[in-house]
Amino acid sequence: VQLQASGGGLVQPGGSLRLSCAASTFRSDIYAIGWFRQAPGKEREGVSCITSNDGSTYYSDSVKGRFTVSRDIAKNTVYLQMNSLKPEDTAVYYCASDSRGLSQCFIHRGVGPRDDYDYWGQGTQVTVSS
């Protein structure tokens, strides 16, 4: 599985960005797609995920109500719409896939830790600053 994240950039506080994660395969090879972020000096944290079988979505408390994850099956792409961005959202954002069906996301328990996901994209920088 190959993943390609894109869509990052510089945005003012309160602004919006949409990230994309294009997967080389979908459906049978991927059970869930997760979005993670890592700010300088901090641990990589999960922010959202979506399951492949039924499209269930999950969010961390820090982004709930502001971020929306969605998918376009025909395009093998998952999106992360980020609204009302804050300076603390500044980070490198990664998408990752669960190809084993073992993630917390796939069993409907939330985003889960990074170890739940076995394939990772290269990351895209999001900077929220005035």
44-90 pLDDT tens trace: 999 999 999 899 999 999 999 999 999 998 898 999 999 999 999 99
d(CA 105, CA 26): 16
Q: How far is CA 99 from CA 2, 16, 48, in A?
A: 11, 30, 17
More confident site: 27 or 79: 79
Q: How far is CA 107 from CA 48, 53, 123, 126, 129, in A?
A: 14, 11, 25, 29, 36
The pLDDT, as a whole number, for residue 26 is: 60
The pLDDT, as a whole number, for residue 29 is: 78
CB 58 within 8 A of CB 105: yes
